[in-house]
Amino acid sequence: MTTTRPETAEAVLAAIRSRRVVRAMTDEPVSREALETVLDAGRWAPTAGNRHLQRFVVTDDPATLRVLRMVSPGMIQRPAAAITICTDRPRAAAFGFPPDAPGLHVDVGTAAATLLLAAHAIGLGAGPVTSFSRAAVAVVLRLPEGWVPELVVCLGHPAPGAPAPMRGGPRLTWRDLTTWMP
């Protein structure tokens, strides 16, 4: 078993604690290098059986992003780039996963969390979007047959003076969310 140095562990925990959904972004482009760094981190996300059934479709084209926003009511921000996490359904079926297998959705979630943390770690703002027309996004992004768009990660540079993160009530602690079993 490998051990993590205390300073590394604290840096990771600090990134987890300080990451926020960014809904206000500047129009400054996101560099190809930054996008590749975030995507490389995404490949390290845990997956069901280490099969990597999710696929990433990236766009930083302003016209494509405009159309993507038109079919995505949940895309409040105006991102400079977007990574759409798709499930490769034919590949999943080849491995014996039924279309409604929970592991497929877990893979999307772990990939999204990893992409969001990676973006934050390199100074980008990011926010997930799940409110969109799957059929329209598939057309806009010219997805291959059987690739199903599941979640869009919007990326950009955080706008200065952006509104504070949304609060859903009092801040919960881990104790509020946990039940210990004997």
The domain limits of the chain are 35-160
pLDDT computed for residue 167 by the predictor:
66
Mean pLDDT of 18-41: 93
Q: Residue 20: is its pLDDT beyond 90?
A: no
Q: Residue 110: is its pLDDT beyond 60?
A: yes
15 vs 150: which has the higher pLDDT: 150
Full-model pTM: 0.89
Low-confidence winner among 8-22, 46-60, 66-80, 121-135 (lowest mean pLDDT): 8-22
Mean pLDDT of the chain, nearest integer: 91
> pLDDT over 90 for what percent of the chain?
69
2 vs 136: which has the higher pLDDT: 136
Q: To 10 degrees, the CA torsion angle through 22, 25, 28, 29? A: 50
Helix axes 6-18, 102-121, angle to 10 degrees: 100
pLDDT computed for residue 70 by the predictor:
97
∠ CA 90-65-84, nearest 5°, is: 30
In the block, tokens 């057309």 appear at 139
Q: Which CATH class is domain 35-160?
A: alpha beta
